[in-house]
């Protein structure tokens, strides 16, 4: 709730299984892949800069950023102590 939906760091968490498994394959993204985010404010394209498995308590990627970026989080299957974290910067 402390990140922006448009400027700076936009953090989004989503499910990776079940009916709403929008983030089911984010761990398969590669550096350089593109992500398009559309909100009521417009559409932006981002380039993936990192894909990491992090501790569930690691909140460092929620920090504000000067550049526009999107940070995606989802669970790691069968590893409740970890999360997938994908960071992408605006291109």
Determine contact, residues 54/72, Cβ cutoff 8 Å.
Answer: no
Determine contact, residues 39/48, Cβ cutoff 8 Å.
Answer: no
pLDDT band at 67 (very low <50, low <70, confident <90, very high): very high
User: What's domain 9-90's superfamily in CATH?
Assistant: Sortase (2.40.260.10)
Name the CA dihedral angle for 46, 51, 85, 1, rounded to a multiple of 10 degrees.
-20
Short-list 91, 73, 88, CA closest to 9: 88
**Percentage of the chain with pLDDT > 70?**
100
Q: What are the structure tokens assigned to 35, written together?
A: 């992500």
pLDDT digits (tens, 9 = 90+) for 5-14: 899 999 999 9
Q: Residue 16: what pLDDT?
A: 85
């Amino acid at each position: 709730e402390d990140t922006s939906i448009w400027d700076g760091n936009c953090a989004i968490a989503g499910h990776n299984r079940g009916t709403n498994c929008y983030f089911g394959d984010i761990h398969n993204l590669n550096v350089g892949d593109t992500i398009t985010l559309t909100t009521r404010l417009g559409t932006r394209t981002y380039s993936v800069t990192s894909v990491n498995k992090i501790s569930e308590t690691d909140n460092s990627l929620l920090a504000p950023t000067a550049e526009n970026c999107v940070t995606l989080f989802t669970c790691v299957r069968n590893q409740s102590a970890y999360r997938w974290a994908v960071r992408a910067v605006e291109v």
